Structure 1
Amino acid sequence: MLRDSRDEKVREAGVQVNTGRKWRADKAVEEAEARLRHSDIVGNVAHGRLGFGCVTRSQWSKASAKDRRTQVQEEIRRMEEESRLTRAVTLRKQGKWLNWEGVPQRKLTWNAIWTMESDRLSFLLKSVYDVLPSPTNLVTWGFAEKPDCKLCGRPANLEHVLSSCRTALSDGRYRWRHDRVLASMADHLDQARKAQKTTNKGPSFISFVRAGEEGAKAKRACGILGTATDWRMEADLKKQLKFPQEITVTNQRPDIVLWSAASKQVVMVELTVPWEERIEESFERKREKYQALTDTCTEKGWKAWCFPVEVGCRGFPAQSLWRTFSRLGVTGQVRKRAISVVARETESASLWLWRKREEKWIGGHRAVD
């Protein structure tokens, strides 16, 4: 702003911007501008699975002074993020989050930091970088002699405590966390199911349009839930779920089943709360598990979908959860809020499991409900 000011006296004032020893504003701006000019030469490129033309950007050569300042700020943020990622790649333990597949980036805004409980924020940050005082870390830091789990006696790192302890599994700790996350997700899907309005209510009329004018476009059904109005839902909570016998007879129990008898459609949702590095593995396993049931429903004349969804045990929803909500018709801010609530529920449950990692699980977890 000072260098490119319209006022000649401001431009020639020679104002020096005070910055740190490791970062200088003038050099950062110079590098950012060089990268932006180079981007004009390269043009728009494809990102991930998106085709050409899906991602557009304003050109540096055609931008106004205000737009250029905005572009420089964004480019400097990208430069800092690239340097952070480069540093994280060299860290064997604290950089393992780079191996998470199918997990979208999660932005932790200042507003979220100020409103988040201090213990939850501490758990979130330390668990991502694996610096919590797990038995393995305590031995590494010289504060303990044995890295054994207090419950099962096996060597215990953070992954063991949150998702791999056999004693915790047999005690029902992981099942308790799974049910809390499932209840939150089922509540949002039930609200979306009830929000569907009757589409064939009352007589239909022909809307005439004058010559040369365009009529109002018919509203398309939003997602699978928008294709019917008689959806019913069952979730594997409190009591054992029984798959609707009007569809087929099976012993398998998906976590959530939605079905419409009028349109002969059935949707199965299967939730997993795995360690983040095993999200893709969990997705493939659950998809294969319910593939036979999906085929059986199709053979009996039902249009069937099976959506395996994953929420990492540290509160990172996988891309499969975003896709499932979109396919069902939960989009926009409603989807964003729903996934945020599910992530927060997972964090809170995992935080409680972390606190109780050395205690017996005899009904004490009921106190947090």
Structure 2
Amino acid sequence: MPPKNTRGRRGASKGGKAAKKDEKAESKPLEMTLADKLAEDGIIATCAMNARGVHENFKDINVLDFSITYFGKVLMESCDISLNYGRRYGLIGRNGSGKSTFMNVLGARGIPIPDSIDIYHLKHEIEPSDMTALEAVISVDEERLKIQSEVDELSEKMLDEGLPDEQAETITNRLTDLYERLDEMDADSAEMRARSILRGLTFTDQMMQKKTREFSGGWRMRIALARALFIQPTLLLLDEPTNHLDMEAVVWLEDYLSKWKKILLMISHSQEFMNGVCTNVIDLTRRKLEYYTGNYDTYIIRSYLPILHVQNYKKNQNVSSTHMSVQEFLEFHSYLLVNQPYHLVYSIAFCEYFSS
């Protein structure tokens, strides 16, 4: 199945039996509300519930005391989730640590996420059909198509000369709102944007007119990626987006994602790609989420290399204490310049390490 764009739902109207039923459902534990979406895959997710609820217009995702089990195995335990608007996160961790499962929970809205945040989780290639590659990309924007259909319908009604003034005013106001939303979505340039994205993923104009069933699985995965980029969701979830891409497409995608202005969470085996895209790194280790500001190289500097170099230096210099004198630090800095001349910034990380 092609990935679906998951939009937040508005709360039910107040009053009556329907409202009472909704209130009862909201009072159930989180794992009960997730059963229909995730339990089939053996995933149970829980978290602390905010007594004030989640404001529907918030653009950030903040969840406390989050845990995941997969067929009874604990993958994440008492973690805090913090995904901020305008940040691009690289999710790392050893194989089997639960990275993809965590993404599945986010994609299924398995945690309290503001209604204003729409989510697109790219997991599979698009299914083969008679739709062209270009049509497949444009058609993913269900909201735009729905709005455009309503605009056409209302515009036709406005042509009725016998339309009452009051109804005409109502329709006019609705059309104004719809046109404003289309402007926000840049609907007039939809085809141009779709072509630009496909071209960046190395589709020629001729290939854009080919039916998706005529493409191999790798190329259909590129079409699925183009759909994810085209829809511009508030939260974009990508798992190994550079798979099936040639170097030209990888370079283009790195540049494109480096300008992503919303929330991006991705898993990638390419350190170079993460360096070019990510503003933050999240390390899933020992069933916890550890957050680092900066790209992958910064993460390495701040998490591993200082400790490894300290251990190596102490072993070579017979230094037993974790505290260095000024002279020892200067000698240590000289040691770094000789052994790692291209990483002068290490000294900053070591200052932080010894001052902590």
TM-score per shorter chain, which class?
under 0.3
Rg larger in structure: 1
Greater relative contact order, per chain length (Cα 8 Å cut-off, separation 6+): 2
Q: TM-score, normalised by structure 1?
A: 0.23
The structure richer in strand per residue is 2
